[in-house]
Amino acid sequence: MSIPMPRPARKNPILRTPQINLPPSARGRVALGLTAAAAEGRFELQACEDCGAVQYPPREACLRCVSARLRWRQQTGSGQLLAETTLDHSNDLYFRERLPWRLGMVQLDEGPSVMVHLHSAVGAAPTRVRVGARIDRAGQAVLIGFPEKASEHMEDDKMLREMTSNPRFRKVLVTDGKTPVGQAVVHALRKAGADLVWVGHAEPWKKAPGLAELTALPSISLVPLDLSDERSVMELAGQIGGKVDIVINTAELHRGFGIAARRGTDVAKAEMEINYFGLLRLAQAFGPALRGRSADGATHACAWVNVLSIYALANYPAQGTFSASKAAALSLSQCLRAEMRPAGVRVVNVFPGPVDDEWNQNMPPPKLSPAALASAIVKALQDGVEDVYPGDIAQEWLARWRDNPKVLERELAAGGS
């Protein structure tokens, strides 16, 4: 049984914020397949296409038949904990600050034996466990041994919180609270135990539906934030930038049509102004503060979430300029991820399919509800993943894009969706 995490003590403002130490991050190129799967919440190992042997650690050739035909395949993770130890001393600065640290050797049902970090709820060896892959603070995949059956408060495990971005007891900025998605994210964060949620509002004089009820809730604070105005972004960063633990960018401008269906570039510029340049302004203003607080106690700054679109992977001509703006935002967020990684701050990209809102009224089902999208965002933070594709449309689009991007492009050009 896991012990619930107590509310962290208030930080002493006189004490200096420590600098981040990251876990060892050296990996060979072949091992990055494990990281790529963990970034999307999957536990994959290499399997030989000739003899079927499952491999660990990752290697260039099969350990049984020396074939080079190794493919990454998802594993169940079920296995037997053979032995365990508790690390009480380490020469590595990262682990030295976090001792004691449990480790174990697990024999997977698929065959290989793996060394894992052990969740505190796992009993003494021998016992059945479930192995999962997570991204650590250095952005690399590590293996964790979980109890075979989940229990309450498992996410509060001290070691697991190091591998995730759980919003519980953390302070969160949601950049746009006037949209159904933004409001659903705020409600989901409150349910997940966020300590305080700042809700951005670009046009305070407009009475957006649901906003008054939202801001009447405890621990919710409405703040002026217009991502098209650099001064607005910088002023808010000066007020709360040093307190924010998680930034969730829900702000977007979404218009229909492609290139020839309308004249001029005004709408396309407006989309880029929010969807791309707005993210850039936000990153320049809040990024340095998040990096500086990434070692700030039990509720250190830990994550940045960008709500993008599945259209960022391949342009959907019916919404051509919107797709282009989200593709630009994806490229920028990849740069942001690279810059945040040395500080141990995770950048999460969310790629929803069509959301059930005013800009997708005429699109036939299935469409993703704002509440479902909000739940996917919070779950991504709790699970510590980097890329999320919520909804049936996004999952199908992703599968087709991975299979053959050129075929998907042709299908979309012919009117497919």
Rounded Cα distance, 393 and 405, in Å: 16
> Can you tell me the distance from the alpha carbon of 34 to that of 352, in angstroms, rounded to the nearest whole number?
24
CA 296 to chain centre: 20
Q: What are phi and psi of 74, to 5 degrees?
A: -70, 140
**Can you give the pLDDT at residue 152?**
80
pLDDT value for 417 = 60
pLDDT under 50: residue ranges of the chain: none
pLDDT of 17: 77
Give this prediction's pTM.
0.94
C-alpha 384/C-alpha 378 separation (Å) is 10
> 223, 160, 156, 161: which is closest to 186 by C-alpha?
223
Q: What is the 3-state secondary structure (H, E, C) of 281-339?
A: HHHHHHHHHHHHCCCCCCCCCCEEEEECCHHHCCCCHHHHHHHHHHHHHHHHHHHHHHH
pLDDT digits (tens, 9 = 90+) for 30-84: 999 999 999 999 999 999 999 999 999 999 999 999 999 999 999 999 999 999 9
Q: Which domains does the chain have, with CATH numbers?
A: 29-158 (no CATH), 171-413 (3.40.50.720)
What is the pLDDT at residue 231?
Answer: 97
**pLDDT score for 62:** 96
What does the pLDDT read at residue 2?
Answer: 64
In whole angstroms, give the CA distance from residue 282 to residue 82.
48
- What is the rounded CA–CA span in Å between residue 359 and residue 342? 38
Exposure of 318 by Cβ count < 10 A (0-12 exposed, 13-18 middle, 19+ buried)? middle
Per-residue pLDDT, 344? 93
